[in-house]
Amino acid sequence: MIGVYGGTFDPIHFGHLRTALEVKEVFGLEQMRLIPCALPAHKTSPDTAPEKRLAMLALAIQNQQGLMIDRRELDRTGVSYMVDTLQSIRNEIADQSLLLVMGTDAFHSITSWHRWKNLFDYAHIVVMTRPNAGPSLSPPLSGWLNAKSTQNKKDLANKPAGCLFFQPVTQLDISATAIREIIATNKNPNYLLPNKVIDYIKQHKLYTCHKN
Ligand code: ATP
């Protein structure tokens, strides 16, 4: 079983890392692949060069078995559509189970993703929720997505793709936007992201310019 965790990771922080690790352990994944996005479809492009975001990712997951980087979105041109990413991974892994992991914020905009229904052709979707929060589907979605939804983890192991699952995870209210703002205003980002990443940010003078 393989997990896919996409993001801009500008920079990677403990909100990403803790949830990636928890989902990896809950499902017993062989790999949790962190996939940095080149050209996001739904937000402005990150100012930080891909190689720097990659370097921070590498520092963050050093020695963490099972967490790995997949750089395929950086190696292709054009908008980084997740459906293309999943399709290309699917071509490499035959019928192994594939989990696309995302936060509830990402899930709430899923119907605006390019060819969003086709995501389920290639992977299951695991939505990371707050503990005790039930599945939250807005009405227009609920019919189609309800049919995909399962409460049985085994369904995700038994089929390569096609299910929707809500997995409670520890909530850390950390965002990359807030971290960039903290650094731009000369405040201290300690305890929000790994020290090695903070050192890298300082060394390369990242996020020093205040942006809105
Ligand atoms: P930004 O603030 O720049 O928009 P971000 O911190 O939200 O960035 P992204 O790199 O866009 O991080 O992360 C993408 C994925 O990580 C999404 O699926 C998102 O839901 C999830 N994610 C981000 N922060 C957290 C967090 N604190 N806890 C759980 N999941 C998170």
Q: Which of 13, 160, 187, 172 is nearest to 100 (CA)?
A: 160
Cβ of 45 below 6 Å from ligand 1: no
Percentage of the chain exceeding pLDDT 70: 93
User: What is the whole-number distance in angstroms between the Cα of residue 174 and the centre of ligand 1?
Assistant: 8
Domain ranges of the chain: 2-204
Among the four given CATH numbers 3.40.50.1820, 3.40.50.620, 1.10.260.30, 3.30.160.40, the one describing domain 2-204: 3.40.50.620
Give the strands of the sheet with 98-103, arranged side by side.
67-69, 31-36, 2-7, 98-103, 124-129, 164-168
Q: What confidence category does residue 212 fall into, taking pLDDT thresholds of 50, 70 and 90?
A: very low
126 pLDDT more than 50: yes
Residue 133 confidence (pLDDT): 59
Best CA proximity match to 100, nearest among 188, 46, 179, 165: 165
23, 169 contact by CB (below 8 A): yes
CA terminus-to-terminus distance, the chain: 39
Per-residue pLDDT, 45: 79
Cβ–Cβ < 8 Å for 20, 32:
yes
Residue 131 pLDDT level (bands cut at 50, 70, 90): low
Q: CA separation (Å) from 146 to 12, 127, 129, 155?
A: 32, 13, 16, 15
C-alpha of residue 176 to centroid of ligand 1, in Å: 7
Residue 126 Cβ < 6 Å to ligand 1:
no
Provide DSSP, 113-150: STTGGGHHHH-EEEEEE-TT------HHHHHHHHTTB-
* Ligand 1 touching residue 92 (CB < 6 A): no
pLDDT digits (tens, 9 = 90+) for 51-107: 999 999 999 999 899 999 999 999 999 999 999 999 999 999 999 999 999 999 899
Burial profile 126-143: b = 16 or more Cβ within 10 angstroms, e = fewer: bbbbeeeeebebeeeeee
Q: Kindly state the average pLDDT of the residues 104-127.
A: 94
Considering the entire predicted model, what is its pTM? 0.93
Which residue type, as a one-letter code, is found at position 8?
A: T
Ligand 1 centroid to Cα of residue 110, in Å, is 14
Q: What is the pLDDT of residues 154-202, one digit of tens each?
A: 999 999 999 999 999 999 999 999 999 999 999 999 999 999 999 999 9
